[in-house]
Amino acid sequence: MDKKDLKTAVAALTPIGGVEADALRAWHNAAQARVNIQDALQALHNHALAALAATGGA
């Protein structure tokens, strides 16, 4: 796993349960929120680029 791959880390830790899950909950929730925001920003960026391309960049 790449050191900067937060999405993979969150996915890897999602199935953990019990005491371990309790210990990770705050970090996991914050990390999942960050992944969601990064995904939304990437989608917005892609949409903006597509709109610029469709209008010739004007």
Question: How large is the average pLDDT for residues 6-14?
Answer: 93
With H, G, I as helix, E, B as strand and everything else as coil, classify residue 4: coil
Q: What pLDDT is recorded for position 2?
A: 64
Q: What pLDDT is recorded for position 4?
A: 78
With H, G, I as helix, E, B as strand and everything else as coil, classify residue 15: coil
pTM value is: 0.77
Selection from 51, 9, 3 nearest residue 28 by Cα: 9
